[in-house]
Amino acid sequence: MINIMRADMFRIFNGKAIYVTFAIMMLLTILIVYVFRTAPQTGIIINDEQVAETIDTTEDTFEALGEVLLPDRADTMNGAVAAQIALGSIDTLAFVFLVLICVIAMDMFTTGAIKNELSTGLSRTKLYLAKFILSSVISFVFMFLYLLASILLASLIDGIGYWGDGFFTYVFASFSAQMLLVLAVNSVGIFLGFVTRKEGAVIGLFLAVMYVPTAIAGLLSIAFPSAIEVLNYDLFNQFGFLSQVTNITSAELTRSIAICLIFILVPTIAGINIFRRTEIK
């Protein structure tokens, strides 16, 4: 299995696709930092005139409100703010993960190399797992580079920001939780690749799994507001929960982890069994 992954890495890093994908991700990073830097940021945004007009208070109380509320405004895109935004927008890398899955797993089907792979007596289970592990590891690397690039770019512009009071713990916990989710995303993608063995089908079905449930639930919620609760169990929407892993309840965290494990184990087990019984022509 290690030899399979080594051969794939040699092929991938001697091709252009992974470098083009990396360049697109860096452009996405720059765009996100720029957009959030020029737009109002999270926090309590309030100015003196608004307070004066809406709150009947004494001068001392007004000053106290100013001391508490005004520093919470995020007027700059520093490294700490960029870390939070990057962790909250890792779902935008879904397209990157899809490209990596196609490059790593689909090439052998589109070129017919799968016949040569299996003719050597290679275990189909090992081949499947090798593709899954390699796509996941490279996805983790891209996640880390996305986070690191966001922090470095924002830090160069507006400074590193404040990283105290458990901020490192928050970053580490959120990143680790989303790694589990990316395993689930890759499990679905590899399953689609080995079952359909057609790149077009993988792209269409992958995007359907990621985005269609969200769209349907959103439309249904217009007539049935309770339908929005379905999103709590949608794979793609777990990015939102797990990006705030230190701020969600234990029940929400348990639910998200359970959903991730289901999407890791079920597609992997089913994919291996289907692929082992599939005739390769």
Domain parsing of the chain, residue ranges: 2-39+77-277, 42-76
Residue 140 CB partners (closer than 8 Å, separation 6+): 179, 182
For tokens 């879904």, the residue is 94
Q: Are 102 and 202 in contact (CB under 8 A)?
A: yes
pLDDT tens, 9-48? 888 888 888 999 999 999 989 888 888 777 654 443 333 3
On the question of pLDDT at 125 being above 70, the answer is: yes
Whether 62 has a pLDDT exceeding 70, the answer reads no
Residue-wise pLDDT for 66-119, tens only, equals 433 333 344 467 888 899 889 988 988 988 999 999 999 888 887 777 877 777
What is the pLDDT, as a whole number, of residue 39? 63
Mean pLDDT for the stretch of residues 173-195: 94
pTM: 0.80
217, 182 contact by CB (below 8 A): no
Say how far apart CA 83 and CA 80 lie, in whole Å. 5
Mean pLDDT over the full length of the chain: 82
Is the pLDDT reported for residue 53 higher than 70? no
